[in-house]
């Protein structure tokens, strides 16, 4: 079986890893001359978002035989809303390194491939590859192909403005800010690379690209952040979904399929899962839609949450932060198997409806 994979990202590499188990040697086409991203940063993988998976590292090892070493565990989360600050401690998930380095999550996955060929510096086109292969996996990390084919349905577009900063950081702490004034219904967060470096990111939904600088400046000013900046980066995340999720022998996986959530922008675990499932679908002739149904459902729940959250005010953010750290609630959210996204979305929706009927 001849399989071409477009994109050496998490979905593409995970797909190749799974195909190799069935004796298939795919060819990955990667537009860059390297694996990873141009800038160093650290991503978070929160258990609360990955549920019902309890521990992604163990899950990937057990279910996919993929070994991923996080840079650190997340043991402390500091939440800031306009007028409140709350800190919670526990086991919340993992940090992973991104960038070009050998310890980056993509390079770790790449190192586990044995007979996959990667063609670097090659901007691939699915039409040409479909003629030469039995299957093509679009794992491009963007919706370009799906949009061209008229099967991408957009939910929300966000802009991310980030920087690598120097300071004094706790490698196990995730810090997050929410404030309508500088992130609208988005958020900002700091993830430590090590004790001296961290990535600081601001995510603002539904803004035009050049306005993100204005929000970034407001964020730094409002939170009195004056770290030394060593690298800067900007990113556009288009969220939505692709339907159908494969067109004949062209399969969409990871972010190219819509496998990134429309609220927090979490997509790395989903990308790995969808890469593996695309491989299983084509090798075993299984229904791809069914295999990735949990991802589709999670994203839909996140979208409902996002719609309800859009109506929240800064006062609601203060209330939310206080509520999240109440002892019983904290226990329920972080340590029980509760579907927080679904329940939270329903609660916010209920609050919004009540607020409207009070007027
Ligand atoms: C700054 C930033 C912070 C993030 N933080 C988090 C986080 O904290 N937690 C989380 O879970 N997720 C996070 N994400 C999202 C997560 O990184 C993505 O969801 C995940 O990487 C998607 O994997 P993918 O394989 O689908 O696409 P990607 O990882 O984007 O890989 C796609 C690959 O395809 C290549 N490519 C594209 N088009 C072509 C083409 N035509 N020909 C050849 N190659 C092509 C690209 O160069 C790239 O290498 C973050 C993303 C960014 C950018």
Instruction: List, for residues 75-85, the tens digit of each pLDDT value.
Output: 999 999 999 99
Are β-strands 41-46 and 3-6 bridged in parallel, bridged antiparallel, or unpaired? unpaired
Q: Does residue 189 sit in the same domain as residue 77? A: yes
Ligand 1 centroid to residue 69 C-alpha, Å:
18
Across residues 47-66, what is the average pLDDT? Answer: 94
End-to-end CA distance of the chain: 63
Q: Are 12 and 272 in contact (CB under 8 A)?
A: no
Ligand 1 centroid to residue 86 C-alpha, Å:
31
- What's 138's domain CATH number? 3.50.50.60
Counting from 1 in the atom list of ligand 1, the atom nearest the Cα of 160 is 1
How many angstroms separate the CA atoms of 138 and 201, rounded? 28
Q: Is the dihedral of CA 221, 226, 228, 233 positive or negative?
A: negative
Query: What DSSP character marks residue 275?
Result: H
User: Is the minimum distance from the CB of 47 to ligand 1 under 6 angstroms?
Assistant: no
Q: Are 39 and 164 in contact (CB under 8 A)?
A: yes
Q: Does residue 132 sit in the same domain as residue 55? A: yes
Q: Does residue 105 sit in the same domain as residue 210? A: yes
Q: Does residue 350 sit in the same domain as residue 218? A: no
> Of 305, 327, 342, which one is at a domain's C-terminal end?
305
Q: Report the domain count for the chain.
A: 2
> Of 262, 286, 305, which one is at a domain's C-terminal end?
305
Q: If you take atom 1 of ligand 1, which residue's CA is the nearest one? A: 235
Ligand 1 centroid to residue 37 C-alpha, Å:
8
User: Is the minimum distance from the CB of 59 to ligand 1 under 6 angstroms?
Assistant: no
Closest CA to 165 of 53, 39, 262: 39
Share above pLDDT 90 across residues of the chain, in percent, rounded to a whole number: 79
Q: Does residue 299 sit in the same domain as residue 328? A: no
Ligand 1 centroid to residue 323 C-alpha, Å:
33
Counting from 1 in the atom list of ligand 1, the atom nearest the Cα of 49 is 11
Share above pLDDT 70 across residues of the chain, in percent, rounded to a whole number: 94
354 bridge partner residues: none
Reported as a pLDDT band with limits 50, 70 and 90, residue 7 is very high
Are β-strands 228-242 and 152-166 bridged in parallel, bridged antiparallel, or unpaired? antiparallel
How many angstroms separate the CA atoms of 299 and 155, rounded? 10
Reported as a pLDDT band with limits 50, 70 and 90, residue 45 is very high
For residue 3, give the 3-state DSSP assignment: strand
Q: Does residue 209 sit in the same domain as residue 345? A: no
User: Is the minimum distance from the CB of 268 to ligand 1 under 6 angstroms?
Assistant: yes
User: Is the minimum distance from the CB of 258 to ligand 1 under 6 angstroms?
Assistant: no
Answer yes or no: pTM beyond 0.85. yes
Q: If you take atom 13 of ligand 1, which residue's CA is the nearest one? A: 266
Closest CA to 94 of 105, 102, 85: 105
Q: 346: domain range?
A: 311-358
Q: Does residue 320 sit in the same domain as residue 299? A: no
Q: Does residue 234 sit in the same domain as residue 330? A: no
Query: What DSSP character marks residue 64?
Result: I
> Out of 67-71, 115-119, 207-211, which region has the weakest mean confidence (pLDDT)?
207-211
DSSP string, 157-184: EEEEEEEEEES---TTEEEEE--HHHHT
Q: Does residue 59 sit in the same domain as residue 191? A: yes
Q: Does residue 39 sit in the same domain as residue 177? A: yes
Q: Does residue 325 sit in the same domain as residue 284? A: no
User: Is the minimum distance from the CB of 261 to ligand 1 under 6 angstroms?
Assistant: no
Query: What DSSP character marks residue 203?
Result: E
How many angstroms separate the CA atoms of 58 and 52, rounded? 13
> Of 287, 305, 323, which one is at a domain's C-terminal end?
305
Instruction: List, for residues 189-215, the tens digit of each pLDDT value.
Output: 999 999 999 999 999 998 998 899 999
The preferred substitution site among 26, 265, 272 for testing ligand 1, maximizing ligand atoms within 8 Å of CB, is: 265
> Which tokens go with 76?
């402390």
User: Is the minimum distance from the CB of 254 to ligand 1 under 6 angstroms?
Assistant: yes
Are β-strands 246-247 and 173-177 bridged in parallel, bridged antiparallel, or unpaired? unpaired
Reported as a pLDDT band with limits 50, 70 and 90, residue 347 is low
Q: Does residue 291 sit in the same domain as residue 323? A: no
């Amino acid at each position: 079986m001849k399989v071409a994979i477009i994109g050496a990202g998490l979905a593409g590499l995970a797909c190749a890893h799974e195909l190799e188990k069935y004796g298939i040697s795919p060819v990955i086409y990667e537009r860059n001359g390297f694996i990873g991203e141009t800038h160093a940063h650290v991503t978070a993988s929160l258990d609360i978002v990955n549920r019902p998976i309890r521990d992604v590292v163990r899950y990937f090892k057990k279910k996919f035989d993929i070994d991923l070493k996080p840079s650190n565990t997340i043991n402390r989360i500091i939440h800031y809303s306009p007028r409140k600050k709350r800190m919670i401690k526990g086991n919340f998930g993992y940090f992973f390194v991104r960038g070009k380095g050998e310890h980056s999550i993509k390079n770790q996955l790449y190192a586990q491939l044995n007979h996959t060929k990667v063609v670097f510096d090659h901007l691939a086109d699915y039409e040409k590859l479909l003629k030469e292969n039995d299957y093509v996996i679009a794992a491009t990390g963007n919706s370009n192909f799906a949009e061209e084919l008229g099967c991408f349905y957009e939910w929300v577009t966000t802009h991310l403005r980030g920087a690598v900063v120097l300071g004094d950081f706790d490698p196990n702490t995730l810090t997050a800010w929410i404030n309508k004034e500088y992130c609208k219904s988005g958020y900002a967060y700091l993830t430590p690379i090590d004790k001296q470096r961290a990535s600081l990111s601001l995510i603002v939904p539904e803004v035009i690209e050049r306005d993100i600088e204005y929000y970034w400046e407001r964020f730094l000013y409002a939170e009195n952040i004056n770290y030394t900046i060593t690298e800067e980066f900007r990113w556009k995340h288009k969220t939505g979904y692709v339907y159908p999720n494969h067109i004949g022998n062209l399969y969409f996986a990871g972010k190219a399929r819509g496998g990134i959530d429309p609220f927090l922008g979490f997509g790395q675990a989903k990308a790995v899962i969808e890469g593996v499932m695309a491989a299983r679908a084509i090798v075993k002739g299984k229904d791809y839609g069914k295999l990735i149904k949990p991802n589709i459902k999670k994203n839909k729940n996140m979208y409902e949450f996002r719609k309800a959250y859009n109506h929240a005010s800064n006062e609601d953010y203060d209330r939310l932060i206080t509520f999240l750290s109440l002892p019983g609630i904290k226990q329920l959210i972080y340590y029980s198997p509760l579907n927080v996204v679904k329940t939270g979305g329903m609660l916010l929706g209920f609050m919004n409806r009540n607020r409207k009927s009070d007027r």
